[in-house]
Amino acid sequence: MTSPSPGPAARRGAAAADDPWALNADLHCHSAISDGTLSPEAVVARAHAQGVQMLSLTDHDELAGQAAALETARKLGIAYVPGIEISVTWAGETIHVLGLGIDPDDAALAAGVAGVRAGREARAREMAAQLEAAGIVAAWEGALRHVRNPQLISRTHFARFLVEAGHCADLGEVFLRYLTQGRPGYVPHRWARLSEAVGWILGAGGTAVLAHPGRYRLGDVGLWALLQEFREAGGSAIEVICGSHTRDQYARFARMAREFDFRASRGSDFHGPGESRVELGALPPLPDAVVPVWAGWAAAIDA
């Protein structure tokens, strides 16, 4: 696939419709199929109402929302990119890899992420036991009340319970006081290997995108090593503009995308109204200096 050359010069004279930098693409968000609060249909409808022109629903380790999202997108006339966010363990850290443009019916991808989901229930029971030991009663039942997909119990569901039960003011406080390393309710877990997750995505015809690189506690050297290994495994893009990056990180990861010759992605990581910092489609556009991961996709999707 050839890349259009980046930069304002390449865009001059291009009609807005043919200008990938001007497209309101949101390629990272969640529904209640994982740890969001809205149904897949409601996420797509909300994205459409917010002016999103190209959407990917990227539930954690789950494909079950894809058919409903695609059908709703077709009805509303919004370009839809099938997606997923896969949990990976790399050098002891949890890393998230987005698979964009995957075939949601690919058997190997489905089997791979089913394996990743399989450990979640036992992990959640252990989280509940730890919280119980810390004096928080009925955390299991409390978290389950927020779960819509029994195969996908996440820390977010526990976090919602901890807020609802008055233990914390908001989700941000939860992740400072609980559920993270060294705090009650933290259960270390081994997710997929990086090469496995990227392999499933590529095998399903998708593009592997490293999610929110600014969030990993790896240091400069560790991050460099991660990006190298991600590229060697077949990863070809990173999130540059995303809900968990600061403005400084937009610039930093735009530079890194160029250094590594990665394409750049944009995604809110929206989990629900009143909960997420960033609304669907509400982020700044990608900088001119990087190539949007979706450049060249629109025609294929509309065809």
* Residues of the shown chain interacting with Mn ion in the complex, contacts defined by CB under 5 A: 35, 85, 96, 211, 269
Q: CA separation (Å) from 144 to 25, 125, 153, 162?
A: 33, 11, 8, 12
Question: Which token pair is 125?
Answer: 């029971």
Q: Does residue 171 bind ligand AMP (CB under 6 A)?
A: yes
Alpha-helical (H) ranges within the chain are 8-11, 40-49, 66-76, 107-118, 120-133, 139-144, 155-164, 171-177, 194-203, 219-233, 247-260, 297-302
Q: Which stretch binds ligand AMP (CB under 6 A): 2-10, 170-178, 257-265, 281-289?
A: 170-178
Q: Which of 140, 175, 186, 224 binds ligand AMP (CB under 6 A)?
A: 175
For residues 254 to 273, the per-residue mask of contacts with ligand AMP, x marking binding by CB under 6 A and - elsewhere, is -----------------x--
Report yes or no: 229 and 223 within 8 Å, Cβ to Cβ.
no
CA atoms within 13 A on the CB side of 299: 4
Q: Which amino acid is at 41?
A: E
The answer to whether residue 172 forms part of the interface with ligand AMP (CB under 6 A) is yes
Instruction: Please pick, from the candidates 155, 167, 245, 266, the single residue that binds ligand AMP as defined by CB under 6 A.
Output: 155
List the beta bridge partners of residue 239: 265
Alpha helix locations (H) across 152-246? 155-164, 171-177, 194-203, 219-233
Q: Report helix, strand or coil for 247.
A: helix
Residue 225: helix, strand or coil by DSSP?
Answer: helix
User: What is the token pair recorded at 123?
Assistant: 């992990």
Distance, first Cα to last Cα, the chain: 18
Report what 171 binds from ligand AMP, Mn ion, none; CB cut-off 5-8 Å by kind: ligand AMP
Nearest CB to ligand AMP, comparing residues 46 and 96 = 96
Q: In the complex with ligand AMP, which residue's Cβ is closer, 30 or 266?
A: 30
Q: Which helix (H) or strand (E) holds 120?
A: helix 120-133
Which one among 28, 46, 48, 60 touches ligand AMP, defined by CB under 6 A?
60
Contact status: 168 vs ligand AMP (CB under 6 A): no
Among 15-23, 41-49, 138-146, 153-161, which window interacts with ligand AMP (CB under 6 A)?
153-161
State in angstroms the smallest separation of the CB of 29 from Mn ion.
7
- Smallest gap, in angstroms, from Cβ of residue 239 to Mn ion? 9
Q: Hey, what are 151's tokens?
A: 């195969």
Shortest distance (Å) from residue 209 CB to ligand AMP? 15
Q: How far apart are CA 102 and CA 81, in angstroms?
A: 8
Asked if 154 interacts with ligand AMP (CB under 6 A), we say yes
Q: Is 57 or 298 the residue whose CB approaches Mn ion more closely?
A: 57
Interface map 61-100 toward ligand AMP (x if CB under 6 A): --------------------------x-------------
Residues near ligand AMP (CB under 6 A): 35, 60, 87, 154-156, 171-172, 175, 271
